Structures are given as structure tokens and as C-alpha cells.
Amino acid sequence: MKILTSLDQVNLLPHSKAVRSALLKELVAPFGSAEKTNAFWKEYPTELFALLPNEDIELFLQRSADVFELFECAEFITHLGDNWYVALAITSQEGAGCYLLFPHGVHNTLDNLLPSSNTDE
């Protein structure tokens, strides 16, 4: 897992270009620009927990149970493509929060985050 604190780090992820592009679009959408997104993330600490394509999901779940619990009541979960999803958990009144980039179909615990209708996209 990688923890990102800036949009500039998204393109360093080993995910497909399509997933990275869709992720950036999703992260920027509420703010309108990358500059505004980065400014918000800096002022109101926001992080992206990115599971990697060959991640040991069981190990992640064991080591990061407290982080994972945030996403059990996610504000939204969006399909990015290639069976990758991004979830948002708001953690402050100002709107700061945590995002989780995760794959579908590799572990039941992650799959259970998704409403059954989202898996058909």
C-alpha cells in the first residue's frame, strides 16, 4: 500500500494509465482543478490509501484494520475501470477525509464494500 498526500503522486502508482487517469478525474471533480485539490488536501489533511496491483490484501487488512473500518460507511464508491474502485470516507467537518483505491474480485472483505449493483459496471 502507498499513502498519497498529493495529486502529483498519483502518476507514480503502478496501476494502468486508464485507472490513474480516472482516479485523477474523480479526485479533482469536487474542486474543479488540480491546484485547488492540492491546496485543500494540504490545508485539511487528506490522504489516499492506494492498494497496489500485487498487494497482499490479507496483510493489508491485518495491519490496517483501523484504516479499513473508515470505509465501511463510505460517502461514495466509484468504479474507475479494470476492476478498480475508489472510496471516500469523510473524517472532518471541513470535508477532509481518506480515499481508498482498491481492486474488486481479489478479497471478499473488499468486495463487501460494494453494493451488489456496482460490481456489474
Q: What's residue 28's pLDDT?
A: 97
CA trace torsion 17, 45, 42, 54 (10° rounding):
-20
Is the pTM of the predicted complex or chain greater than 0.85? yes
Instruction: Tell me how far apart the alpha carbons of residues 5 and 42 are, in angstroms, rounded to a whole number.
Output: 8
pLDDT of residue 24 exceeding 80: yes
User: How many domains does the chain contain in total?
Assistant: 1
Instruction: Tell me how far apart the alpha carbons of residues 77 and 99 are, in angstroms, rounded to a whole number.
Output: 9
Domain hosting 16: range is 2-120
pLDDT of residue 116 exceeding 80: no
**Number of other residues whose CB lies within 10 A of the CB of residue 4:** 20
pLDDT digits (tens, 9 = 90+) for 89-104: 999 999 899 999 999 9
pLDDT digits (tens, 9 = 90+) for 44-65: 999 999 999 999 999 988 888 8
pLDDT of residue 117 exceeding 80: no
